[in-house]
């Protein structure tokens, strides 16, 4: 419950007036519910005795006075007998009977007091004649029900406002957190993130709505009924509630089981979501390799697990309902037996246990039963929502630890502005591994002077992109330092650092927005003219004018899939150019550019890197030519540094990658690399 309490606290502290308003409305609903059921008492009195309220009050007053006189006489009799008695045992028995008569006297006096209090109102307002009284009661029931409906609706609206706004806040916080904590070595899968954001937040919102709605309203209704029943006969009520502790224990055990089942269900659903997203992304691979049936079978296996968990949850939820219905029925049965015995035999005791001060009348026992039956409806409704609350508790146990997760990559308290340092980059004794004991970078040292353009080459998996990950501070090194202008990157605010860098990655990521907006992503403040200028420089304009019917408004599709690989890369280069960065990083940024465009784009890249620190990870000879220095990496270390000519002589890895084929052909270089 702890984590759900955080959601409750948020809801109450941020939307307190809605919650207070809903509580007041719920209270009124409860009172009206009890009052409507309590109306059975005068209704029964009128129907069974054919009296108006005036006559009833008259009869009650006379009846009470008679009873008071009778009991007073009894007490006086007991006093005489006690005074005359010798045997201590008999005296104590007489005293006990006298005490009981005293209680009965008080009860009649209290009833007389109540009747006397209500008489002025009955005299002033109550209708005359039994039928008119009946009509007034029916009108009271109708008005009560309409008012109850109005307050119920108000309460539901106010609760919905508070809980939906809390859900919205939670989504915002979670979105912000997911943007932060997926950096570094924290592994949060897409399936888990999606599941937390959609299913779990909605489940928390749903259980808050129930908690502030039904779980407040229904118990108030129950309390109103129990209070009415206690007013009629509290001893009989306690007897009726004897079954409650056992039912509460069963409920407690069921709660734990349902919560654990919900946790496991959420995990399975997250795996299904992750699997589904993966298959949708790899749709054409599935089709091309004809693995539909295989994937269908995998999907079915995962879905079946979820199905079984769901069946178990449904079973235990139904047990809650059964438990609550047994509790409700048990209460009514116990009171039926005991109350029936008292009324039929005009008794006040069962097995010597006093259950009533005076013999119960038909009207009061009927009202008592009606009030107990009035408790069973809220009990049943609470049983129905119990499972949803347990699901909310389980979801909160997954969402809140994520929200409280420390940022794996954090900003310093007093960040140094990047404007105050140079743009030279140094990697000093950098060691890094993604998985423990599997080093990717090993004591790596590299310096890139301000304004220098270097190319990094090396076989697949040697750690080139990992250097970029550290430069962008997507990860921090395990040991050693990455420095900008001599200052450790950890001393800068991440936003400030990244604002100085433009990154073009091999797998271009475009959003399902227009081409214009995808370019503008590089600088959200750029004007349309600036966007167009960058687009022209990156040769986006060329294909937009000839191929795109909607021009720059053409939508790029889900992850840019409506465009070709080369078109996507050009857009991402335009995006980088628009950023006007101090440092430019190109990770295989031109691998999909066609031969025609290659020369033109390289002209624009050449202009782009002038005066900037540039890091080019490339397999293309033409891009290599843009660099003043080439760094050769192998097994997470720098093997050699130099110009193309120097490296041919000094580096075995470089020779293996670039010289054994015709180095003037960019195509052959790419092929050679792909085979590596
Ligand atoms: N997120 C990750 N989790 C675990 N291991 C990773 C992760 N990213 C990369 N690696 C591993 O780190 C090593 C270096 O990867 P990196 O992407 O830096 O290589 P690269 O030189 O850029 O390769 P390529 O030329 O193929 O792009 C590889 O062995 C890779 O499997």
pLDDT tens column, 643-655: 888 888 888 888 8
Confidence of residue 172 (pLDDT cuts 50, 70, 90): very high
436 has pLDDT over 80: yes
pLDDT of residue 82: 87
Q: Quick one: what percent of the chain has pLDDT higher than 70?
A: 93
Model ipTM value: 0.96
Confidence of residue 19 (pLDDT cuts 50, 70, 90): very high
- Paired residues of 634 in beta bridges: 637
- What is the rounded radius of gyration, in angstroms, for the C-alpha atoms of the chain? 40
Question: Looking at the whole model, is its pTM more than 0.90?
Answer: no
Residue from 463, 506, 589 to probe ligand 1 pocket by mutation (most atoms less than 8 Å from CB): 463
Provide the 3-class DSSP secondary structure of residue 586.
strand
Q: What number does the ligand 1 atom closest to the CA of 633 have?
A: 21
Whether ligand 1 lies within 6 angstroms of the CB of 18 is answered as no
Is the pLDDT higher at 658 or at 614?
Answer: 614
Pick the CATH number of 2-46+130-403 from 3.40.50.1950, 1.25.40.10, 3.40.50.620, 1.20.1560.10: 1.20.1560.10
Q: What number does the ligand 1 atom closest to the CA of 468 have?
A: 18
Confidence of residue 666 (pLDDT cuts 50, 70, 90): very low
Whether ligand 1 lies within 6 angstroms of the CB of 434 is answered as yes
Please, are residues 121 and 54 in contact by the beta-carbon 8 Å criterion?
A: no
Across 164-173, 350-359, 387-396, 620-629, the highest mean pLDDT is recorded for: 164-173
At the topology level, CATH places domain 503-580 in Rossmann fold (3.40.50)
pLDDT of residue 669: 43
Average pLDDT estimate for 36-50: 67
Whether ligand 1 lies within 6 angstroms of the CB of 466 is answered as yes
Whether ligand 1 lies within 6 angstroms of the CB of 469 is answered as no
Q: Backbone phi, then psi, for 424, in 5-degree steps?
A: -80, 145
Protein residue closest via CA to atom 30 of ligand 1: 461
Whether ligand 1 lies within 6 angstroms of the CB of 637 is answered as no
- DSSP code of residue 238: H
**Which ranges of 345-447 does DSSP label H, i.e. alpha helix?**
362-403
Lowest mean pLDDT of 140-149, 228-237, 604-613, 654-663, name the range. 654-663
Average pLDDT estimate for 414-427: 90
Q: Quick one: CA torsion of 372, 355, 348, 103, rounded to 10 degrees?
A: -120
Confidence of residue 437 (pLDDT cuts 50, 70, 90): confident
Whether ligand 1 lies within 6 angstroms of the CB of 464 is answered as yes
Average pLDDT, the chain: 84
Q: What homologous superfamily does CATH list for 415-500+583-593+609-676?
A: P-loop containing nucleotide triphosphate hydrolases (3.40.50.300)
Quick one: three-class SS letters along 345-363?
Answer: CCCCEECCEECCCCCCCHH
Average pLDDT estimate for 208-226: 85
pLDDT by residue (tens digit) across 175-207? 999 888 878 777 788 888 888 888 899 999 999
466 has pLDDT over 90: yes
Protein residue closest via CA to atom 4 of ligand 1: 434
Tokens 């309460």 belong to which residue?
A: 155
Q: Tokens at residue 676, please?
A: 């590596």
pLDDT of residue 44: 66
Q: What number does the ligand 1 atom closest to the CA of 588 have?
A: 27
Euclidean distance between CA atoms 598 and 179, whole angstroms: 35
Confidence of residue 664 (pLDDT cuts 50, 70, 90): very low
pLDDT of residue 621: 77
Q: What number does the ligand 1 atom closest to the CA of 463 have?
A: 18
pLDDT of residue 358: 67
* Beta-strand relationship, 425-433 and 629-634: unpaired
Residues 6+ apart with CB under 8 A from 539: 570, 597, 600, 601, 604
Whether ligand 1 lies within 6 angstroms of the CB of 465 is answered as yes
């Amino acid at each position: 419950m702890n984590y759900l309490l955080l959601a409750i606290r948020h809801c109450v502290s941020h939307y307190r007036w809605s919650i207070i308003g809903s509580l007041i409305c719920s209270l009124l609903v409860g009172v009206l519910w009890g009052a409507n059921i309590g109306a059975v008492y005068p209704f029964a009195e009128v129907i069974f005795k054919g009296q108006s309220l005036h006559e009833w009050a008259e009869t009650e007053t006379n009846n009470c006075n008679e009873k008071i006189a009778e009991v007073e006489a009894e007490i006086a009799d007991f006093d005489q007998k006690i005074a005359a008695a010798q045997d201590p045992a008999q005296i104590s028995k007489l005293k006990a009977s006298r005490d009981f008569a005293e209680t009965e006297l008080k009860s009649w006096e209290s009833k007389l007091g109540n009747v006397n209090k209500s008489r002025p109102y009955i005299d002033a307002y109550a209708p005359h004649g039994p039928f008119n009284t009946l009509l007034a009661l029916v009108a009271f029931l109708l008005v009560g029900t309409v008012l109850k409906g109005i307050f119920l609706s108000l309460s539901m609206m106010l609760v919905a406002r508070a809980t939906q706004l809390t859900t919205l806040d939670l989504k915002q916080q979670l979105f912000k957190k997911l943007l932060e904590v997926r950096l570094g070595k924290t592994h949060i899968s897409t399936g888990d993130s999606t599941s937390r954001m959609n299913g779990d937040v909605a489940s928390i919102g749903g259980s808050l709505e129930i908690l502030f709605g039904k779980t407040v309203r229904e118990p108030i209704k129950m309390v109103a009924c129990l209070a009415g029943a206690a007013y009629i006969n509290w001893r009989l009520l306690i007897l009726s509630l004897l079954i409650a502790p056992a039912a509460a224990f069963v409920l407690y055990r069921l709660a734990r089981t349902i919560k654990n089942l919900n946790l496991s269900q959420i995990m399975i659903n997250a795996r299904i979501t992750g699997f589904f997203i993966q298959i949708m992304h790899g749709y054409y691979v599935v089709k091309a390799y004809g693995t539909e049936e295989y994937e269908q079978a995998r999907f079915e296996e995962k879905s079946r697990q979820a199905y079984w968990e769901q069946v178990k949850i449904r079973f235990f939820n139904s047990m809650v309902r059964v438990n609550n219905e047994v509790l409700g029925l048990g209460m009514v049965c116990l009171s039926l037996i005991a109350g029936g015995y008292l009324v039929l035999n005009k008794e006040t005791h069962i097995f010597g246990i006093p259950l009533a001060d005076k013999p119960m009348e038909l009207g009061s026992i009927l009202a008592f039963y009606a009030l107990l039956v009035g408790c069973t409806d809220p009990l049943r409704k609470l049983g129905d929502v119990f499972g949803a609350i347990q699901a909310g508790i389980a979801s909160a146990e997954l969402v809140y630890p994520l929200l409280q997760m420390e940022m794996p990559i954090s900003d310093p308290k007093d960040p140094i502005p990047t404007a105050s340092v140079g743009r030279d980059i140094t990697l000093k004794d950098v060691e890094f591994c993604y998985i423990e004991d599997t080093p990717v970078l090993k004591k790596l040292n590299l310096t890139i002077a301000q304004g220098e353009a270097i190319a990094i080459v090396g076989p697949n998996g040697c750690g080139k992109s990992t250097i970029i990950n550290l430069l962008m501070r997507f990860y921090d090194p395990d040991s050693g330092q990455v420095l900008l202008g001599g200052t450790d990157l950890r001393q800068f605010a991440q936003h400030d650092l990244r604002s100085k860098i433009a990154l073009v990655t091999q797998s271009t990521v475009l959003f399902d927005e227009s081409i214009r907006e995808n370019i503008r992503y590089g600088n959200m403040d750029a004007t349309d003219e600036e966007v167009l200028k960058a687009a022209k420089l990156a040769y986006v304009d060329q294909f937009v004018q000839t191929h795109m019917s909607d021009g720059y408004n053409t939508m790029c599709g889900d992850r840019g899939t409506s465009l070709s690989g080369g078109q996507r890369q050009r857009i991402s280069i335009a995006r980088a150019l628009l950023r006007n960065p101090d440092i430019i990083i190109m990770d295989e940024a031109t691998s999909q550019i066609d031969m025609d465009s290659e020369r033109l784009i390289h002209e624009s890249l050449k202009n782009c890197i002038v005066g900037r620190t540039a890091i080019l990870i490339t397999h293309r000879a033409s891009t290599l030519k843009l660099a003043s220095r080439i760094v050769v990496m192998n097994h997470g270390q720098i093997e050699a540094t130099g110009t193309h000519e120097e490296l041919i002589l000094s580096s075995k890895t470089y020779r293996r990658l670039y010289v054994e084929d015709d180095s003037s052909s960019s195509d052959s270089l790419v092929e050679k690399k792909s085979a590596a």
